Amino acid sequence: MTKESTKQELNKQTERLEDKPSDEEEIGLEPNSSNFDELPNIDKLIEKRDPEIYKTPIKLTFNAYKRIISYALRYASEAISEKNWREAYGILIGSVENNEKVIIKDAIPMVVGERAGVKYENKQYVDMAQIDESVYERSIRDKKNDFIIGWWHTHPGFEFRFSDIDTQTQLGYQLPNPYAIALIFNHCKLNSNNFYLGLAALRLLNPERGLFSSYDYINLEVEINQEKMINKVQKVIKDNFKNLPKILKEIEYVDDILRKRALAQLQRNYGLILVPKRDIIITDKEEDAEEDDRYLYEWDPEFFKKSFRIPKFREKIEEEIKRDEKILQELLELNELKKYEQKKDKFKKKIQVMLSKPNDWFNQLSSEFTKRIEIIYPYYDYLDTSERKILEHFESRSIEYNKILDSLNTRAQFNLSLE
Ligand SMILES: [Zn+2]
């Protein structure tokens, strides 16, 4: 992780921590409100803490281990020449049991960096916030206390120690949560006497001293016995080694062919999705454009034109349907039922012809995507933020397109009734 990016990261993390209480002061929340309780003053919290808390032991599940080692070995292993080894980074999900043990239940791969350093970009922050939210929601639903319990990264070929930057990162996790843990993986230590799993667990011993804080290794237990854990994980690694290159090609296909070519072309030729104007100014990257849930069923071009760039196709078809609906509605009100049925048939056919290309195109696109997802899905655990975002982004864009297409298909049935 570069110094700058870590600084930014730490700033973001502390910003997040500091922002909230002051926001709440501004809007005048009572000190006894529950929100206030969740965000206590950090200084006070540190004073209260017994240093023993920083020695709370760790238990690692197989699930978390397989994700760490699988992602780490993609970028540094005996099969890769040493000069190409790269550091990998991710977060840990778990819970604190009875204040005496931290269980690491999951480890999510996030990003790969350089030889010694990982750069966190905006999408990783977004990903982290989304993971945080979904873990929180799941915890409430399943009555668990899972949350982001720390982070992991690799030191390919070098020691299990905190660099200054690692200390900074760990402060970001451990200041708000004394149980927060850092796992470091070094594949060269696999099968060594002290670090059989290639892993060390570290915590700062006196985080109130900031960058001058010292650290120590924390006792790391495993869910099943170490030998079993290694044997089981070997199978996963072998399978990943064999199949992951194919999986990554499929993801590339989703991004390069399905999204950049097919879906983008579909939107260019038969545009349905409204493109927010502010995003055109800020960015030319599609994935940066905000997805907007509030799309109105009532077609009001004057309203939309203010904030959106309206695709020609959408404009044309909305106007056609609106005009046809008006004619039919009038016939219905005049009780001209025979004429009404004739016109209805005619309009139906006309609109269906207009929609036939986008319908065909979209169905083909969607079945292509489904095929890819079926191949990728068993390996989803081993994908990092960028890879997962490619799939998420394609999915949300195509859902958005389909939602509009569906509603146009329904309206093209002209099932009107007397108002
Ligand atoms: Zn490090």
What percent of the chain lies above the pLDDT cut of 90? 64
- What pLDDT digit, counting tens, does each position of 84-141 carry? 999 999 999 999 999 999 999 999 999 998 765 666 677 888 888 888 888 888 888 8
Within 184-295, residue ranges assigned H as helices are 226-253, 264-269, 277-282
Cα–ligand 1 centroid distance for 207 (angstroms): 17
Cα–ligand 1 centroid distance for 58 (angstroms): 19
- What pLDDT digit, counting tens, does each position of 52-96 carry? 899 999 999 999 999 999 999 999 999 999 999 999 999 999 999
What 3-state class would DSSP assign to 125?
helix
Cα–ligand 1 centroid distance for 414 (angstroms): 63
Q: Note the pLDDT of residue 115.
A: 61
Q: Are strands 197-204 and 181-190 parallel, antiparallel or unpaired?
A: antiparallel
Cα–ligand 1 centroid distance for 90 (angstroms): 12
Q: Note the pLDDT of residue 84.
A: 94
Amino acid at 203: R
Cα–ligand 1 centroid distance for 276 (angstroms): 41
Cα–ligand 1 centroid distance for 166 (angstroms): 5
Cα–ligand 1 centroid distance for 68 (angstroms): 15
Q: Which residues surround ligand 1, an ion (CB under 5 A)?
A: 166
Cα–ligand 1 centroid distance for 97 (angstroms): 27
Cα–ligand 1 centroid distance for 297 (angstroms): 52
Query: How many residues are there in the chain?
Result: 419
What 3-state class would DSSP assign to 118?
coil
* Nearest residue to 225 (alpha-carbon basis) of 60, 57, 56, 104: 60
Cα–ligand 1 centroid distance for 165 (angstroms): 7
Give dist(CA 85, CA 155) in Å, integer: 10
* Residue 389: both structure tokens together: 């975002």
Cα–ligand 1 centroid distance for 155 (angstroms): 6
Domain 3-223: top CATH class? alpha beta
Handedness of CA 308, 311, 312, 315 (dihedral sign): negative
What percent of the chain lies above the pLDDT cut of 70? 81
Q: Which residues of the chain have pLDDT under 50?
A: 1-40, 279-285, 287-296
Cα–ligand 1 centroid distance for 188 (angstroms): 15
Cα–ligand 1 centroid distance for 11 (angstroms): 18
* Nearest residue to 269 (alpha-carbon basis) of 366, 371, 370, 360: 360
Cα–ligand 1 centroid distance for 4 (angstroms): 15
Cα–ligand 1 centroid distance for 153 (angstroms): 7
What 3-state class would DSSP assign to 71?
helix
What's the angle, vertex CA 66, arms to CA 167 and CA 392, rounded to 5?
85
For the chain, domain boundaries: 3-223, 243-411
